[in-house]
Structure formats: C-alpha cells, structure tokens
Amino acid sequence: MTDLPGALLALAAGYLIGAIPFGVLIGLVAGVDPRRAGSGRTGATNLLRTVGPVGAIAVFALDVLKGVVAVLITAWLYRGVGASWIVAATGVAAILGHIRSPFIGFRGGRGVATAAGGLLALAPLAVVVLAPVVVAVIWRWRYVSLGSITGALLAPIATGALAAAEAGTIAAVGYAAAAAILITLAHADNIERLRSGTERRLGAKEAVRGDG
C-alpha cells in the first residue's frame, strides 16, 4: 500500500483491531460481563477485580497484542510517503478502538495495554525504561490508575530522549504524546477519585451489578 486510500485502510484496520473486545469475550466465558461489573470497563484491571488473575492476565496479553499487531501489520504493508507516521497513527487508532469499540456500543477499556503494545512495536527501549517505573508506582501506592497515568505521561519524554539519542523516531514521540492524551482522558474519573481519596486500590474486589 502506498497511497492515501491505503493509509486510510491501515487506520481503519488498526481501529478495528484495537476494538476487538477481548475483555468482554473472556469475561463472558468466566460468567461475568465486565460492562456490568466493577468499573464497567473491559480492561485487565476490571477483569482482575471481577473475574480473577487468570482472566486479567489473558486480557492484558491480548490487549497488548492488539497494539503490536496493528503497528506491525501497517509497517509491513504500507510503503508510502510518511510511512513512519502512518504506522504510528495506526497504533493511535488501535488505542481509540480499544477505548471506544463499535462492537460493544462504543465502550471499552482505558487503552493502557493496547498503547503499551503499540509502543513495544515502535520503541521497545521506551517500554524497557517505563515498565519498572509503572510497576514501582503501582507497588508503592497500590493504584493501577496512578501507575498507568504516570507511564503514559512519561512515554513522550522517554521516546523523545531516545529520538534525541538517535535510538528512536520522532513518529514514536508523536505516538506516545497522542497515547498519553487518550489515556489521561480515559482516566478522568480515576483522576477525580484520586483527588478525593476514593480511588480503588489494587486487590479490591468488585461485585457484579444486576441493574444492567
């Protein structure tokens, strides 16, 4: 693919790959619809609270894979002008698809795992640098949301440093910046709860809601 229609096709494919609702599929196999449980989100954190660690790990791995696949497929197929930016934009489209999936009424997760997958494909060294920081923040304060937001906001800095050292690309910096915006917006309710001291800590269980 080398032309504008090819670029648009890549973006659409990235969005649809990101939109695959693995959290809902795995949750339903376990007998829980995550949209009616806990936070109502379909990501690994809500699955951990409502289904358990096995389901959460599976969802996290599959959501990461969505980001990796969306980026690598485009990198393999698209050879047109600005290819690196189209590849990065496809990763952003996958995050958006995860957050707003058309398959489940434009609901979804918060985009963290899918964003991590895209970053892993675009700038693996950045993931190596950021992962310990995210884990440390979650371990210290027991807030997954805080770790996720911290990692998202630091990603443009990490990718920028790599680009400055000629170990990364400007397109990856653009991807990280867009991902940071999407992830922060998706965590708006978490940020409010963090400020009010009512955010759920890691390990807290959630009950399934029966009100639909």
Q: What is the DSSP string of 84-106?
A: HHHHHHHHHHHHHHHHSBGGGTS
pLDDT at residue 208 tops 70:
no
pLDDT at 81: 84
| Residue-wise pLDDT tens digits, 3-61 | 899 999 999 999 999 999 999 999 999 999 999 999 999 999 999 999 999 999 999 99
pLDDT at 75: 96
Report the candidate in 131, 132, 11, 8 with the shortest Cα–Cα distance to residue 64. Answer: 131
| Residue-wise pLDDT tens digits, 164-185 | 999 999 999 999 999 999 999 9
Domain boundaries, the chain: 4-196
Quote the CA–CA distance of 66 and 61 in Å, as a whole number: 9
Query: What is the pTM (predicted TM-score) of this model?
Result: 0.94
